[in-house]
Amino acid sequence: MDCLTGGIPERREGGRGGLRTFDGGVRPGDSGFDELGEARSFGAPARAPSPLRVSFREASGVHEVFARREGRSLSITQLKPGPCPSESLNAHLGDVDFEAGRFAGDLRVRGVMAAKGLTILCMLDQTGAVNHWGRETEAGDLLTLPPNGELEGRFDGVSSYAVATASWGLFTQRAEAFEWLAEPRFWTEALVCSPPAPVRAACQRAILGGIGMLRAMGERLPASAALFLRQEMLDAVLAAMARVRDDGPQRRLALNAARIVRQSEDYLEGAGGRQVVQIDELCQALNVSRRTLYRAFHDVLDVSPKAYLRLKAMSAAREALLGAAERPTTVTQVALDHGFWELGRFAGSYRTMFGEPPSETLRRVAGRTAEARP
């Protein structure tokens, strides 16, 4: 199913901890209460809607569309070479920010989707394996992230998604009509919900219909139609989530392999991204054997720990080059900052991975900056 084109008009800490199961869903836990810059009482009235705003963007890399959004702090590591084209439709529906997009590639994604506001993400379609918090997910699954909650997953192939972000009060107020969804504890931890097939299909149809309308009408959409669209999509998502029954909830640890990969990333980040971190050092820090460490990385990401370290550094280098408009730099400086001492080899590996030399990435960013100047 093509979500944006074809049949449809074109178109760190928070969130870690134990897992919470909801009839086929998992909830990594920590709510990030203190990061929410609004009234935290459940059922709090929503803010008055503001005017409709709609935009559409295409890019050659997923970093430029999915990761680089206000309030979002995502680390994306490209695991296989090749271009990762992406596109997104963004609409501000009064008090709800709606985003629908698609990206390609084999990617490790981890970080905060929204520092303020609650986020619901729906996987609309996928051509490859996708997992979140070590659990395989399918098209139609719904992910809920509290303010400052952390997304953690792997996307392989072409992934289409929709995201709705709004105040905590708005979601809980509308959830009062859906039985147990109105319970405050439902919204304080991240979760994955897998609704029954007919319900997930109805939810997907409602979201795809909204995408088609926004893409076709844009900001010409009447205010009354925008309000109706907002209500239809929110209610479709909440109705699907309400069909997932609470089995306890039962607390359990994350899958062991996913936990080891997550702890390895945390250790590397705490080491300041040192390229001299050795496998034995990592094993000792995590209290696991070399064999267990390698097996965990292969199970979750299908790469060795050493290979992942290099890939993570390369993706971080690309992110630095793409951010040169805000933080001027050079290719040489970026390479050295990320542990690549042989500049020729760095340039070659970068081109193989991203489809362009690092100098071209920097030149493209500089060109956009010059065009933006008055």
Q: What is the mean pLDDT of the chain?
A: 79
Neighbours of 344 (CB within 10 A): 7
Q: Which tokens sit at 283? A: 């094993």
Cis preceding linkage at 328, omega within 30: no
Is 48's pLDDT higher than 60?
A: no
Q: Is the pLDDT of residue 88 over 60?
A: yes
Closest residue by Cα to residue 120 from 193, 180, 179, 184: 193
CA torsion 353-359-365-366 (nearest 10°) is 180
314 has pLDDT over 80: yes
Percent of the chain whose predicted confidence (pLDDT) is above 70: 79
Angle 266-161-112 (CA atoms, 0-180°, nearest 5)?
30
pLDDT for residue 90 is more than 80: yes
pLDDT digits (tens, 9 = 90+) for 122-169: 999 999 999 888 888 899 999 999 998 889 999 999 999 999 999 888
**112: part of which helix (H) or strand (E)?**
strand 96-112
Tokens of 274: 């040192």
Determine the Cα angle at 73 with ends 69 and 74, to 5°.
Answer: 100
Give the dihedral of Cα atoms 171, 177, 179, 182; nearest 10 deg. Answer: 30
Q: Per-residue pLDDT averaged across 60-75, rounded?
A: 79
- Rounded to the nearest 5 degrees, what angle is found at the Cα of 115, between the Cα atoms of 114 and 121? 20
Amino acid at 200: R
- CA 289 to chain centroid, in Å, comes to 31
Q: Name the 3-class secondary structure at 258.
A: helix
Token look-up 């995590």 returns 286
Q: Which of 6-10, 315-319, 364-368 has the highest mean pLDDT?
A: 315-319
pLDDT at 106 over 70: yes
pLDDT at residue 24 greater than cutoff 50:
no
Per residue in 182-238, pLDDT (tens digit) is: 777 678 888 888 898 898 999 999 999 999 999 999 988 888 888 888 989 999 999
Tell me: pLDDT of 6 over 50. no
* All structural domains of the chain: 19-251 (2.60.120.10), 256-372 (1.10.10.60)
Distance of CA 268 to the CA centre of its chain: 21
Give pLDDT, residue 44: 43
* Residue 244: strand, helix, or coil: coil
pLDDT at 18 over 50: no
**Strands annotated E in 207-277:** 250-252
Contact 95, 170 (CB under 8 A): yes
pLDDT at residue 25 in the model: 35
Q: Taking 60 as the threshold, does the pLDDT of residue 33 lie above it? A: no
23 has pLDDT over 70: no
Question: What are the pLDDT digits (tens) for 249-259?
Answer: 333 334 688 88
Query: Tell me: the pLDDT tens digits for 322-371?
Result: 888 888 889 999 998 888 888 999 999 999 999 999 999 999 887 766 55
Q: Positive or negative, the Cα torsion across 222, 5, 159, 357?
A: negative
pLDDT tens, residue by residue, 51-64: 688 999 888 877 77
Q: What mean pLDDT do residues 267-294 have?
A: 80
pLDDT at 83: 86
pLDDT at 15: 36
Rounded to an integer, what distance in angstroms lies between the CA atom of residue 109 and that of residue 357? Answer: 23
Mean pLDDT over 17-42 rounds to 34
Cα dihedral 23, 29, 31, 32, rounded to 10, equals: -150
Residue pLDDT, tens place only, 192-203: 888 988 989 999
